[in-house]
Amino acid sequence: MSADDLHARVQTLLEEHDPAGDPREFLGARFDAGLAWVYFPIGSGGLELSRNFQAQVEEELAAAGAPPGGGPHNGIGMGMAAPTIAAFGTEDQRREFLRPLFTGEHFYCQLFSEPGAGSDLAGVSTRAVRDGDDWIVNGQKVWTSSAQKAQRAILVARTDPTVPKHQGLTYFVLDMTDPGVDVRPLRQITGEAEFNEVFLTDVRVPDANRLGAEGGGWKVATTTLNNERVAIGSMAGGTREGGIIGKVTDVWRAQPELRNPAMHDELMRLWVDAEAIRLTALRLRQRMAVGQPGPEGAGMKVAFARLAQAVSGFEIELHPEDGLQYDDWTMRQPEGVDFVGREPGYRYLRAKGNSIEGGTSEILRNTIAERILGLPPEHRVDKDIAFKDLDR
């Protein structure tokens, strides 16, 4: 299919379905036309084209005022669950899960981290025990964004404690409305409850909702995490002086009375770092166009976390006594993270979590060293020990 053919297909969609009408109806029609993810399989919202064509579709539909795929703030569903389902799901699973995800009917959250398994994700102890055609799940997850409004979740649970920890995991799609799912908000440093802890008590998950092989959950989860790290890393901004650095440069130019000559070199260094990260993100997205994201996403995520914390700290210095003013301490549950639209105090506080979420910077530096640079791996004493025999 050529670019002209794809353009004609987009125009047909716009002629037959009003982009200003019901969002779910339009997105459902877009999915059925293969224009959700054009690089996905036919029948799964795609046309089996190159990823390079996706940008053309997004630009033409955005110009027509079409609603975004997945609905508002469904980043986990669109950026993490969808590519994982496409890569590991059966034809029936892709048909069942992807369309309601794309139309926004199903909002997703991620049930990975636990109180005793954050940086060491392979150490999860949430248990899934087979019972006929179902799995019975018991355990606790933590730091779960938007669990309070999610209809579905991607879940990693332990199905075999008799083998080493990386081998005994299985990956599921969980219905968050099922009995036994208890969501409780967690207050964070910003005063908000952006995250939750989720308790799972005798939750039944059909085996039909298992993604990948039993015991193959680590491989599936790695695909999800690679996509997550690219998504977080790309928050540095898609345009020059986009994202957080743009907020600082705007103030620097508009309010010269706030400037300190000693801060000039620091701002220039941060600007150069932001531009280097932006260009690197563009190159990484180009590589993603011909395949799944690899461990390079870990480097982007580490770089963004460092930059966000440095720029937000610089912004506080730029505003002197006004920098730390932050009035919204109510324990509300926001729709998402808004680094650009909020005040400097919020950005400074929220940026502290960037080096933790999506894999800590320390763990990701190990990934970079071992999987990109080819350095010898750290010695792991628990690598060949059955999970049940580990000290926890």
The catalytic residues are 228
* Inter-residue contact 120 to 75 (CB < 8 Å): no
Q: Return d(Cα 128, Cα 136) in angstroms, integer.
A: 5
Residue 183 Cα distances to 75, 146, 152, angstroms: 19, 10, 13
Tell me how long the chain is.
392
Question: Which DSSP string do the residues of 171-226 spell out, in sequence order?
Answer: EEEEETTSTTEEEEEE--TTSS--EEEEEEEEEEEEGGGEESSTT-HHHHHHHHHH
Residue type for position 219: K
Here the tokens at position 370 are 């071992």
Helix (H), strand (E) at residue 237: none
Measured between alpha carbons, how far is residue 74 from residues 105, 156, 240, 268, 302 in Å? 10, 20, 25, 35, 23
Look-up of token digits 């997850």: 141
C-alpha distances (whole Å) from 342 to each of 81, 205, 286, 307, 312 are 28, 39, 31, 18, 12
**Given the DSSP bridges, would you call strands 134-141 and 127-131 parallel, antiparallel or unpaired?**
antiparallel
Alpha helices by DSSP H, the chain = 3-16, 23-32, 52-63, 75-76, 82-88, 91-103, 217-233, 243-254, 264-288, 296-318, 344-350, 361-367
* DSSP characters over 135-178: EEEEEEE-S-TTGGG-SEEEEEEES-TTSBTTTSEEEEEEETTS
* Strand-pair category, 195-206 with 108-111: unpaired
Give the DSSP per-residue string, 46-63: B-S--THHHHHHHHHHHH
